[in-house]
Amino acid sequence: MVKTYRDALAMGNKILRKSGIEGTTDARVLLCHASGKDTLGLTLCGNDNIPEEIFAKFTEYINRRSKNEPVSYITGYREFMGLDFAVEPGILIPRPETEHTVEYVISLLEGKAARILDLCTGSGAIAVSLAKYLPDSRITAVDISKTAISVAEKNARSHGVIDRISLINADILKAADSGTGFDAVVSNPPYIPDEVVEALEPDVRDFEPHLALKGGKDGLMFYRAITEKAVNMLKPGGTLVYEVGHDQAEQVGCIMETHFDNIGFEKDLSGINRVVHGTLRITSE
């Protein structure tokens, strides 16, 4: 019988394990969300009786998670670069590996009054983080999804950077005018081959938007298109920065070599080349 917070947490873990969700902190995160307590607060009240309304919320959240719904869609937020970002169904949930892309751009442009274009902005995680940590920068963020633009605007407002972010609802694969003269173009585009999407984990395949996952037959469709468009969007010597899939770095680097020099790679914490970047070739007319 569930009486205390500790009992509820044990119950939640048991249900998730039975559903095949193991080795996670999901139950604790969901109990914190249901109770409004942080991790320390939850530990300190472990032997206290859990109020019925909190237990009912927690049970609802656990049941949703047991059906593979992502925790971030249940709580409505995801932490990224030390900031809380609102997320909702229809928006790709920010991944920890994307922080490497942001960190590289920060290292490149720190202290500069840079103009940055973020393509496929989604929740605005990249754009808002760059605006937050590069306070002299101005960001233009583009996404085909109206829901994404709405959520990105919400995140820009909540972190106090809306005055330095321009949001554009447009399809970057078409002739959308996103501007010119940017110091950097950065993108975490859809990069999963279309036929692979159905083989993804159910919490991704069944809940996250396929529009933000599918990168064409070989997963490289957006890299080809953006690389060509970036030539006219960047100022001479400007930088193009991509996040890529775990096995795509060399292929994306080859795509970029048509117009870009100094192709480089940045590894994630697993030692995988996760970020590819290059500078726009300056040609004499």
pLDDT at position 176 is 57
State what percent of residues in the chain have pLDDT above 90.
91
Query: How confident is the model over 115-121, as a mean pLDDT?
Result: 97
- Pair (137, 205) in one structural domain: yes
Confidence of residue 285 (pLDDT cuts 50, 70, 90): low
Residue 86 lies in a domain: no
Residue 74 lies in a domain: no
pLDDT at position 210 is 94
What DSSP letter does each residue of 67-79 carry, written as one string?
A: TT--HHHHHSEEE
- Pair (168, 276) in one structural domain: yes
Sort 285 into a burial class: Cβ within 10 Å, 0-12 / 13-18 / 19+: exposed
The answer on pLDDT for 35 being more than 60 is yes
* Residue 250, number of CB atoms within 10 A of its CB: 13
- Pair (109, 224) in one structural domain: yes
pLDDT at position 284 is 61
- Pair (25, 126) in one structural domain: no
pLDDT at position 2 is 76
- Total of domains in the chain: 2
pLDDT at position 179 is 75
Measured distance CA(80)–CA(93) in Å, rounded = 10
- Pair (25, 161) in one structural domain: no
Q: For residue range 124-157, what is the model confidence (pLDDT) as tens digits?
A: 999 999 999 999 999 999 999 999 999 999 999 9
* Residue 201, number of CB atoms within 10 A of its CB: 11
Q: What are the distances in angstroms from CA 219 to CA 41, 52, 73, 118, 203?
A: 44, 48, 25, 19, 20
Residue 78 lies in a domain: no
Tokens of 77: 């937020």
Mean pLDDT of the chain: 94
- Pair (60, 114) in one structural domain: no
Measured distance CA(204)–CA(223) in Å, rounded = 22
- Pair (239, 126) in one structural domain: yes
Query: How confident is the model over 38-66, as a mean pLDDT?
Result: 95
CA angle 5, 7, 9 (to 5 degrees): 70
Residue 272 lies in a domain: yes
Residue 285 lies in a domain: no
Query: How confident is the model over 198-209, as a mean pLDDT?
Result: 92
- Pair (116, 204) in one structural domain: yes
Residue 19 lies in a domain: yes
State what percent of residues in the chain have pLDDT above 70.
98
CATH number at residue 257: 3.40.50.150
Residue 37 lies in a domain: yes
pLDDT at position 264 is 97
Q: For residue range 237-262, what is the model confidence (pLDDT) as tens digits?
A: 999 999 999 999 999 999 999 999 99
- Pair (61, 98) in one structural domain: no
Residue 220 lies in a domain: yes
Confidence of residue 118 (pLDDT cuts 50, 70, 90): very high
- Pair (217, 163) in one structural domain: yes
pTM across the whole model = 0.93
Q: Which domain holds residue 234?
A: 92-280
Tokens of 245: 């899939």
- Pair (42, 133) in one structural domain: no
- Pair (150, 243) in one structural domain: yes
Query: How confident is the model over 10-23, as a mean pLDDT?
Result: 91
The answer on pLDDT for 277 being more than 70 is yes
